[in-house]
Chains A and B, each alone.
Chain A
Amino acid sequence: MAMSLNPASPREPAQIESLMRTAQRLRQQLDVDVHELAVEAIYAEAARIAGRSVSRPDRAARPTFDRTVDRLVTSRLWGFPLMIALFAVMLWLTISGSNLPSSLLSALLVEQLHPWLRDGATALGFPWWLRGVLVDGMYLATAWVVSVMLPPMAIFFPLFTLLEDFGYLPRVAFNLDNLFRRAGAHGKQAMSMMMGFGCNAAGVVATRIIDSPRERLLAILTNNFALCNGRWPTQFLIATLFVGSLVPAHLAGLISAAAVTGVALLGVLLTFAVSWVLTRTALQGEVSTFSLELPPYRPPRFWQTLYTSLIDRTLFVLWRAVVFALPAGAVIWLLANIPVGSLSLAEQAVQWLNPVGFLLGLNGVILLAYIIAIPANEIVIPTVLMLTVLVTGSTGMGQGAGVMFELENPGEVKSLLAAGGWTTLTGINLMLFSLLHNPCSTTIYTIYKETSSARWTAVAALLPLALGVAVTFSVATIWRWWD
């Protein structure tokens, strides 16, 4: 037997290899499942020790709060309707609760502060282009991000986090498990999908709880179908403007919430559909089994939840949006003010994209906004608004290209967009396209890090985009044919 004379010195590779060979030989000689024996021994010991120290009440089980709630929320009959209703109520609270603070913020930041800053810059003798980039570009984009995004996020995220803290999410996973299995995916994908409703990059990282590489890849590729932080505000605003306005005012909030719920559910449906197609084509394989623990319901710690959701999610997302909005605002302003021929760069791009936009029931402005907003979905709406002002500049809504004024309430946003040629179809298709397009650059990078495969990263980025083009094109075609 090889003995190590000097234990401190590095071991000889030969020694290690010989050890491996011994292990291999012994392993082959054994005709038992070592793994199983080891696990059995551990389980028996655990049971013995637990039996010696745990005492339980001897009474028969009686209905507890947990069991009653579980029976309801995981019931075959009520599980799904309750789940959908719960999310719809959350979205409704968000939409109806954020209208007022949104208009107040916009009145303050856009209506009051912006002219003041503009005058200040003029008084300080800034050249017109510097004032343009700083005040009309960067400041305005940021002001819009804050007023459009802060209120819905400050309501939605705490609600979602309270639900999470209470212990509802595993029940959702339980309800969805059967569907995932039928789609050929792992039931734990429900968890990463749920994280995706917050942030797709986080959702992609969360797929690490899935053991099998095949199922993990499925979860990564479909995570983008979960609406993320950056896209909720788009949904809220557009639903309010274009869907809510179709019905009498007292129903508007409810119908808008229903529309957003519908888009979110479509995302969930597509998650199943795409998983189903992939497991039958590129990613064939067995579904692995797993056990999911339904944790006890725990009373949410209200203040702490409020605090963490505001810090971790609301402010985090807002900060990210602001960081991306600053340069984006500058880019938009520059695009709008650098002339090429008789038109500005932005107008050239919008005109060039318009035919494609028309086919998809969108327009060139939206497509350009989605290109500018690749770093962060959060800035889509501000970009769309600023670009719309730019191309409808002749209608007198703004002062100078790429500058937007006096849009202190959603109604005026609507009239601005209407001036830009928006219809109900544009609104609906924007909601769909917001669900179905390439993930933001952070998510794409995260996917690359998690898969270490450029090919799968490309699939993850292009698959939703292709679906988005197909879906919006079909909707637009049918819509126009119907009219």
Chain B
Amino acid sequence: MKGATPPAAPPREACASCDVYRAANLKKLGVNLDQWDYVVALAGNPNVGKSTVFNALTGLRQHTGNWPGKTVTRSEGGFEFGGRRYKLVDLPGTYSLLSTSPDEEIARNFVLFGQPDVTVIVVDATRLERNLNLTLQVLEITDRVVVCLNLLDEAHRHGITVDERQLARDLGVPVVPTAARYSRGLPELLQAIADVASGKVRCRPRRLEHEPAPLRAALGELVERLRAIYPDLPSPRWVAMRLLAGDERIREALRAGELETLRPAASPREPAESPLAPVS
């Protein structure tokens, strides 16, 4: 990763590690956001509490509901934390980035072409394995990820414990345990977002090292071609895989030059329309 900017005026160490300080440091901006330093996307499986996290951070009151598929459009809000302004984008829940229903495509396109500075993947601690499927797919696309291990209260109720340190080691990105319904763990989540956004924490995400053997040669050739054309592309292997799978949307994106907009990671963004193509 290159071009990381130094973190903004770091608070005194003793303060920075204190919940009270951090919580007081959060300013919920609702929808009143015309300039921002970082764009943060909220992704995750359906019904894991993305909108609850969104509401808690922005102070907005997006309708939340206990059923998968409640959010079908992306909604945006803002918050200020540690002197930086963040635009938070709540994406529709999706089990995978590989399928094609309109709501899943909104999520995928934003992560891929919207190039958020940080993608927060909210995962359900009680169904970790299934949630990791999406997490691993997102990690293929971008390495600027924070995993929000949510619904810990429910996991606790079912006697399930998750070793978040082990998980963070295995995934190579920060993992923050939360119970967003009860606002637990949100200060730590904010800190992790800030650290990844500013480049203070560098993610070394787990990529599937062992590609399926029959594909190895083909992938290798395509990745080389992609690297030659797009030296800055953060995830040539993923794009190559999608091309091999015959993904029409990726072909369109290449033809329309959408990959041109992929910028080097970690440069603070000027306020601008995100290059996300509208989805009909």
Q: Could you tell me which A residues sit within 8 Å of B by CB distance? A: 1-4, 7, 10-11, 13, 15-16, 19-20, 22-23, 26-27, 29-30, 32, 34-35, 37-43, 45-47, 49-57, 64, 161, 164-167, 169-170, 173, 188, 191, 205-206, 208-211, 292-293, 295-298, 301, 307-308, 311-312, 452
Instruction: Digitize B248-260: 1 where CB-to-A-CB distance is under 8 Å, 0 elsewhere.
Output: 0001001101001
Report how far A57 CA is from B159 CA in the complex, Å.
Answer: 6
The 3 lowest CB-CB distance pairs between A and B, nearest first, are A211-B101, A50-B129, A46-B132
Instruction: List chain A residues, Cβ under 8 A from B272.
Output: none
Given contacts A10-B257, A30-B244, A293-B68, 8 further A-B contacts (CB under 8 A): A15-B229, A39-B98, A45-B132, A50-B129, A173-B67, A208-B73, A209-B101, A308-B61
Chain B neighbourhood of A208, CB < 8 A: 72-73, 92, 101-103
**A443: shortest Cβ distance to chain B, in Å?**
16
Q: Which of A37, A42, A45, A293 has a CB less than 8 Å from the CB of B214?
A: A37
Among B4-12, B32-40, B112-120, B160-168, which stretch is in contact with chain A? B160-168
- Identify which of B14-22, B23-31, B75-83, B219-227 touches chain A: B219-227
- Assess the B66–A23 pair: CB atoms within 8 A: no
Q: Could you tell me if A43 and B46 are in contact, using CB atoms closer than 8 angstroms?
A: no
Task: Assess whether B72 is in contact with A206, with CB atoms less than 8 Å apart.
Answer: yes
Q: Whole-angstrom distance between the alpha carbons of A3 and B226 in the complex?
A: 10
Interface string of B196-228 (1 = CB under 8 A from A): 000000000010101110110010011011101
User: Looking at chain A's contact residues, is the secondary structure mostly helix, strand, loop, or mixed?
Assistant: helix
> Which residues does chain A contribute within 8 Å of B161, judged by CB atoms?
54-55
Chain A residues within an 8 Å CB radius of B244: 23, 26-27, 30, 34
Report whether B136 and A54 are in contact in the complex, using a CB–CB cutoff of 8 Å.
no
Q: Judging by beta carbons under 8 Å apart, are A35 and B164 in contact?
A: no
**Closest CB in chain B relative to A308 CB, distance in Å:** 6
- Closest A residue, CB atoms, query B209: A45
With A4-B229, A23-B244, A301-B181 known as contacts, the answer to whether A165 contacts B137 (CB < 8 A) is no
Instruction: Say if the beta carbon of B274 comes within 8 Å of chain A.
Output: no
- A-binding residues in B (CB < 8 A): 46-47, 61, 63-69, 72-73, 92, 96, 98-103, 126, 128-130, 132-133, 135-137, 154, 158-164, 166-167, 170-171, 181, 206, 208, 210-212, 214-215, 218, 221-222, 224-226, 228-232, 240-241, 243-246, 251, 254-255, 257, 260, 280
Contact A46 B251 (CB under 8 A): no
Give Cα distance in the complex from A161 to B170, angstroms.
Answer: 39
- Distance of A301 Cα from B114 Cα, bound (Å): 34
CA of A308 to CA of B130 in the docked complex: distance in angstroms? 31
A308 and B128 contact, Cβ closer than 8 Å, known pairs A4-B228, A37-B214: no
Cβ B67 vs Cβ A191 within 8 A: yes
Query: Could you tell me if A52 and B101 are in contact, using CB atoms closer than 8 angstroms?
Result: no
With A and B bound together, what is the CA distance between A166 and B67 in angstroms? Answer: 9
Structural contact, A42 and B229, CB atoms closer than 8 A: no
B103 near A37 with CB under 8 A, answer no
Other-chain contact of A54, B46, B98, B129 (Cβ < 8 Å): B129
Specify the chain A residue showing the minimal Cβ separation from B259. A11
With A49-B171, A301-B181 in contact, do A167 and B280 touch (Cβ < 8 Å)? Answer: no
* Given A20-B251, A38-B245, A53-B164, also A211-B228 (CB < 8 A): no
In chain B, what residue has the closest Cβ to A205?
B72
Cross-interface CB contact of B226 among A19, A35, A40, cutoff 8 Å: A19
B132: which of A13, A49, A297 is its contact (CB, 8 Å)? A49
When the two chains form their complex, are residues A3 and B101 in contact, meaning their CB atoms are under 8 A apart? Answer: no
Contacts of B210 in A (CB 8 A): 41
29 interchain pairs, CB-CB under 8 A: A1-B228, A2-B228, A2-B229, A3-B228, A4-B229, A7-B231, A16-B229, A16-B255, A19-B222, A22-B225, A34-B245, A35-B98, A37-B212, A38-B241, A38-B245, A39-B96, A40-B212, A45-B132, A46-B133, A46-B135, A49-B132, A53-B167, A54-B162, A55-B163, A57-B159, A165-B66, A170-B68, A295-B66, A295-B67
Bound CA–CA A38/B240 (angstroms): 12
Whether A210 lies near B101 (C-beta < 8 A) is yes
Most buried by A among B63, B73, B158, B167: B63
In angstroms, Cα B240 to Cα A428, docked, is 62
User: How distant is the Cα of A169 from the Cα of B63 in the complex, in angstroms?
Assistant: 15
Cα–Cα distance between A4 and B63 once the two chains are bound (Å): 48
Among residues of A, the one whose C-beta sits closest to the C-beta of B106 is A208
Give the one of A22, A64, A311 with max B CB within 10 A: A22
Contacts of A205 in B (CB 8 A): 72-73
Q: Is the CB of B128 within 8 A of A53?
A: yes
B63 touches A312 (CB 8 A): yes
Residues of B within 8 A of A20 (CB): 243, 251, 254-255
Shortest Cβ distance from B137 into A: residue: A42
What's the nearest-Cβ distance from chain B to residue A72, in Å?
Answer: 18
The docked-state distance in angstroms from the alpha carbon of A297 to that of B254 is 44
The residue on A at minimum CB distance from B251 is A20
Contact call A170/B67, Cβ cutoff below 8 A: yes
- Please pick, from B72, B126, B211, the residue contacting A209 in the complex, using a CB distance under 8 A: B72
